Amino acid sequence: MTESAPLLLARGVTKAFAGVTVLRDVDLDLHKGEIHALLGENGAGKSTFAKIVAGVHRPTRGKLSLNGRQVDISSPLVAQKLGVTLIHQEPISFPDLSVAENLVLGQGEQGWFSRVPWAEMTREARRQMDQLGVSIDVTKPMRGLSIADQQMVEIGRALASGSRLIIMDEPTAPLTPKEVDTLFGIVRRLRGEGRTIIFISHRLEEVRALCDRVTIFRDGSKVATDAIENLDDAEIIRLMIGRPLKEYMHKHNASIGEVALEVEGLTLPGRFQDVSFQVRRGEIVGLGGLVGAGRTDVACAIFGIQPAESGSLKVNGKTVDIRQPDDAIALGLAFVPEDRAVSGIFRTLSVEQNITAAIPGRIAPRGFIRRAIEKLLAADSVRKLRIRLASVNQPIGELSGGNQQKAILARWLLAEPGILILDEPTRGIDIGVKAEFYDIIGELAEQGRAILLISSELPELLALCDRILVMAEGRLTAEIPRAEATQEKVMQAAVPRQQAGIAA
């Protein structure tokens, strides 16, 4: 690797959202012609940093220089003009426009009524796709293209606009191994052309296979930048986590009892196939795997949000048919969903209303709401879970993310569930609150509840769970007892194998 003048120079880059600092004084140099990985736990700041470089966010403080010239990247458009392109995991495109149009839209600054040079545009688009070595009919609409192909179009667009710096935010998560190989080939070729690539991933093996240098983020700060060969996996994990796991995660000693939830041959075509497992009382069962492996779909199927087409469910030994979430609730199930804003909170409604949403029968015994009961239950939850707020009548949107999540958990605890499904319960939450959550989860298990914990954070799974189930491409690929669980084992089971498709 040649040491040349840095392409990008970041100095003291800091970003705060609504008073919460998410990125603190980051200095970083990127060289021309390197593939640079950004690593870190969820919320460590790597994506925020990438978005600042790409003009999606503006830094609260700090400076960026490109090719030695200080720049103010005020919007993605400015970034593009400066030769910086961010490629999202699920590319943002115009489904109704053709591939060729998606490639050129936003380029050049001609007049409003200037002609669209269709023939030229199509020819150029074909050339670019050929260059990338992919065969896509550029006259067809984007709608219907695979995600891999959409990424290729995005990369093509970056090249067409002459980008010198291409940022890829977890590009491989939705791809098949074969597609990943193709992508890597192209990325290496881009490096060969002297372009710089920022590669964000949480898959160490990919980073090792592809990248030249890595920068590791933790809690909003940069903790290290080094050539990949100078760091071994353990060192990287240590840097990412920063302190021994045990320090803030401990498995409570709950006595494990009867089978509470039994899933047998659950199948929803296109989402997951033949999933079978059990969760016992007092047991925390982890469900790991990559994003898109079908974990959330399984949870949604169990909870009746989108029921499975075949397979059976047993709750406390009895076969049940759950068609709707309220069937599930009646059977003592609870589900804390992954995306709080979309499927958890009622943003403009009061904290109180949010907390009591799942127990209509208790707050309104004869259909009429008893304010006193409601107030009591809400206040009780706030105290127990230490939810920080000014008033239970506040709209929940005014609370911090962690406290919103606690309120959602409180909602489900009020339903007194025997079986609790938690989907990424600690995503986007401050590290301090995270620890509280781990305690709470442990306590819940001690109380004899069965817990199914879906998480992408391996340390979380390893530290909390009695058993870890792993899914890949809609199938259960491993069941690892706590004693045998290691990051490597989980990852091995999570990465889809090419033959998996054939074996089916």
* Helix (H) or strand (E) run with residue 244 in it: none
| Helical (H) or strand (E) element with 252 | none
d(CA 64, CA 52) in angstroms, rounded, equals 9
Task: Between 115 and 246, name the residue whose CB sits nearer to other proteins.
Answer: 115
Distances (CA, A) of 233 to 39, 217, 462, 491: 12, 15, 17, 13
Site stretch for other proteins (CB under 8 A), options 196-204, 357-365, 479-487, 494-502: 357-365
Stretch binding other proteins (CB under 8 A), from 33-41, 100-108, 127-135, 178-186: 100-108
Q: Confirm or reject binding of residue 369 to other proteins (CB under 8 A).
A: yes
Count of residues that bind other proteins according to CB under 8 A: 69
Where does this chain touch other proteins (CB under 8 A) — which range of 58-66, 97-105, 187-195, 479-487? 97-105
Of 55-84, binders to other proteins (CB under 8 A) are 76-77, 80
Residue 93 binding other proteins, by CB under 8 A: yes
Q: In the block, which residue shows the tokens 């889809």?
A: 496
Residue 178 interacts with other proteins (CB under 8 A): yes or no? no
Q: Would you say 49 or 303 has its CB closer to other proteins?
A: 303
Nearer of residues 293 and 345 to other proteins, judged by Cβ: 345
Footprint of other proteins on 288-327 (CB under 8 A): 303, 305, 324-326
Q: Out of 328, 382, 422, 445, point to the residue binding other proteins (CB under 8 A).
A: 328
Please provide residue 22's backbone torsions phi and psi, each rounded to the nearest 5 degrees. Answer: -110, -15
Min. distance of Cβ 368 from other proteins in angstroms? 5
Nearer to other proteins, 244 or 432 (CB): 432
Give 1 or 330: the residue with its C-beta nearer to other proteins.
330
CB of 293 to other proteins, least distance (A): 21
Q: Per CB under 8 A, which region of 31-39, 91-99, 177-185, 206-214 contacts other proteins?
A: 91-99
Does residue 176 contact residue 96 with C-beta atoms inside 8 Å?
A: no
Whole-number Å distance between alpha carbons of 437 and 456 = 16
Which strands, in side-by-side order, build the sheet including 272-280?
272-280, 259-268, 310-315, 318-320
CA dist list (Å): 41 to 456, 457, 497: 10, 8, 25
Rounded Cα–Cα distance for residues 423 and 337 (Å): 5
* Nearest alpha carbon to residue 355 among 320, 388, 392: 392
Instruction: Name the packing angle between helices 431-446 and 401-414 (round to 10°).
Output: 10
Q: Which of 388, 443, 488, 501 binds other proteins (CB under 8 A)?
A: 388
- Does residue 96 interact with other proteins by CB under 8 A? yes
- If one asks whether residue 274 binds other proteins (CB under 8 A), the answer comes out as no
Rounded Cα gap, residues 317 and 84, in angstroms: 57
List the one residue from 335, 377, 451, 464 that touches other proteins (CB under 8 A).
335
Check binding of 95 to other proteins (CB under 8 A): yes
Least separation in angstroms between CB 480 and other proteins: 29
Site for other proteins in 103-132 (CB under 8 A): 105-106, 110-116, 118
Contacting residue, 3, 69, 321, 368, with other proteins by CB under 8 A: 368
Which residue of 163, 182, 296, 353 would you call a contact of other proteins, by CB under 8 A? Answer: 353
DSSP result, 443-502 = HHHHTT-EEEEE-S-HHHHHHH-SEEEEEETTEEEEEEEGGG--HHHHHHHHSPPHHHHH
Nearer to other proteins, 131 or 348 (CB): 348
What is the torsional sign of CA 456, 462, 464, 467? positive
Contact 162, 81 (CB under 8 A): no
CB of 314 to other proteins, least distance (A): 20
Q: Which residue, 35 or 168, is less far from other proteins as judged by CB?
A: 168
In the structure encoding, which two tokens stand for residue 120, read together? 């030229």
Q: Is 485 in the site for other proteins (CB under 8 A)?
A: no
Strand order in the sheet with 284-289: 333-336, 419-423, 450-454, 284-289, 467-472, 475-481
Contact between 439 and other proteins by CB under 8 A: the answer reads no
Nearer to other proteins, 111 or 244 (CB): 111
Give yes or no for residue 357 binding other proteins (CB under 8 A): yes
CB 364 within 8 A of CB 322: no
Strand order in the sheet with 69-71: 20-31, 6-17, 61-66, 69-71
Cα-based torsion angle of the residue sequence 309, 311, 315, 318 in order, rounded to the nearest 10 degrees = 110
Closer residue to other proteins (CB): 211 or 389: 389
Residue closer to other proteins, measured from CB, 106 or 265? 106
Angle 54-59-61 (CA atoms, 0-180°, nearest 5)?
145
| Alpha-carbon gap, residue 302 to 334, rounded angstroms | 10
Nearer to other proteins, 280 or 434 (CB): 434
Report in angstroms how near the CB of residue 484 gets to other proteins at its nearest: 34
Q: Does 17 bind other proteins (CB under 8 A)?
A: no
Of 457, 434, 38, 450, the closest CA to residue 289 belongs to 457
What residues line the site for other proteins (CB under 8 A)? 19-20, 76-77, 80, 92-97, 101, 105-106, 110-116, 118, 140-141, 143-145, 303, 305, 324-326, 328-329, 335, 337, 342-349, 353, 357-358, 360, 363-364, 367-369, 388-391, 393-395, 397-400, 402-403, 411, 430, 432
